[in-house]
Structure 1
Amino acid sequence: MRTLVLMPTFNEIESLAHSVAELREVCPQVDLLIIDDNSPDGTGHLADRLAAKDPQISVLHRSEKGGLGAAYLSGFGLAIDRGYEIVIEMDADGSHRAIDLPKILEKAQTADLVIGSRWIPGGAVVNWPAHRKAISKIGNLYANLMLRTGIKDMTAGFRAFNVEFLKGLNLEGVAARGYAFQVEMALRSKRAGGEVVEVPITFVERTLGSSKMTTAIVLEALWLVTKWGFYRSA
């Protein structure tokens, strides 16, 4: 099935080339779209150089930093327009290992949404301190308490969508722009009756660059999950 990997970037010049090389080595059959939000460190220029050497790589330049959700929505639109059948979300910082992608792709042949999960048996997180693991686990427990999806890792960012299913999710109405985007897309998938499957992955904390996680992003996710939970029960 024709597959497009979406890789959003903002100041990822230290890690992008390595992440792309690993992806091309492990899954040479997939195409890659790098979505750069006008990175001041020159990531967009690096992306253009990588694309110039490989016809399976393309670059979408956005004018400003608009958030993870907005970047992925732009990529979804291009995947739909270009006739892809599967679209992948994947970080550029090396935290999502290319060697885990084949098992996600295998499940994506039949499922509507496949989530690479850290918090199911076989999943793991490397190089996170205890408090970071606790925040993620508690956040996912709270999301499940409020939203009742049964998904163990709703905040996971390594995932695959069936494009035909994606078309029916009313993407114009997606509210979240930060990391809550992942929760919202999983919730929309479940409420639309989609088949959602989790597969275990190993998440590796970045060793290059800096995390984009902020208090504001966490608070946005907390507020939106609470709102969606009450809306469900209304």
Structure 2
Amino acid sequence: MTNRHAPDGKGVPGTTLVVVPTYNERENLEPIVQRLHAALPTAHVLVVDDGSPDGTGDLAERLSASDERVHVLHRAGKSGLGAAYVAGFHWALDRDYAAVVEMDADGSHAPEDLPRLLAMLGAEGAGADVVIGSRYVTGGRVLNWTWQRQWLSRGANIYSKHALGVPVNDSTAGFRVYRRDVLAALPLEDVASQGYCFQVDLTLRAVEAGYVIVEVPITFSDREFGDSKMSGDIVREALLRVTRWGVRRRAAQLYELFNPQR
């Protein structure tokens, strides 16, 4: 891995870092960074590029060279969304950022929503430790998806909520904010590192650790350029993992019910 514009272990104290994983997002990257800085002028951006053959990494370098708020982390190849986020989280934790954001590069997550999400964080907001930009709470919606994909996404989230017993309606959401302390406490290296299952895994771990999760309604709009990274393998992996985690969690709850501490 290599990085550019990485100050010696320092970010700007109290600043938000937005982690943006990329693989072949050349058409989308610059517009989304511009929108992000229009919405949050003081935020920093970390582009985590997985060796995009379309030149996304080179574009990120040019953006970084002209703007000290933009940083780049190059990875050798495509090894999964979760692994890219874990690399970005470690990069953030090595510096002084107070809040870390997950956001897609393809425009499906509106940067203009970030001030609302960040307002819910910490003591001055709703006291949240994790804030999720949610499609599946009152006021949230999805645009430009086929009914099959909407059915798949809603079904996956309903299944995850009930199988795991977590009070979250959109646990697969990839638009979220973490307090620094949460990421520092969670065992990131143990988190499932493939596909959208990564988001469910982090959600479950945050719930089990007792952190406060707040969902804020957003409008999710499907990408205009490029191809979706969703695949049948990702869906199958998520189903198997969530089922396994649900069995484990329910077994632990039953054990505690019938074996109360004395």
TM-score range, shorter chain: over 0.9
What does residue range 195-234 of structure 1 map to in structure 2 within 5 Å? Answer: 195-234=212-251
What does residue range 1-234 of structure 1 map to in structure 2 within 5 Å? Answer: 1-109=14-122, 110-234=127-251
SS of 1:232 mapped into structure 2: helix
Q: Deviations over 1:103-136 (max 9, x none)?
A: 0111123311100000000101111111111111
CA distance in 2, matches of 1:142, 1:124: 19
Contact persistence 1:176–1:184 (CA under 8 A)? no
- Equivalent pairs counted in the alignment come to 234
TM-score by length of 2: 0.88
What's the offset of the Cα at 1:221?
0.6
Q: Deviations over 1:173-227 (max 9, x none)?
A: 1123211000000000000000000000110100101100000011111111001
Contact persistence 2:164–2:250 (CA under 8 A)? no
CA distance in 2, matches of 1:190, 1:32: 27
Percent sequence identity is 50
CA distance in 2, matches of 1:200, 1:175: 26
CA distance in 2, matches of 1:33, 1:19: 12
SS of 1:172 mapped into structure 2: helix
CA distance in 1, matches of 2:182, 2:176: 14
| 2:175 maps to amino acid | F
CA distance in 2, matches of 1:50, 1:176: 28
Larger Rg: 2
CA distance in 1, matches of 2:61, 2:131: 29
| 2:15 maps to amino acid | R
Runs of 4+ aligned structure 1 residues displaced above 3 Å come to: none
CA distance in 1, matches of 2:50, 2:189: 20
CA distance in 1, matches of 2:224, 2:148: 18
TM-score by length of 1: 0.98
| 2:140 maps to amino acid | G
CA distance in 2, matches of 1:16, 1:207: 12
Structure 1 gaps, min length 5: none
What's the offset of the Cα at 1:90?
0.3
Q: Deviations over 1:144-198 (max 9, x none)?
A: 1110101000000000001112111111211232110000000000000000000
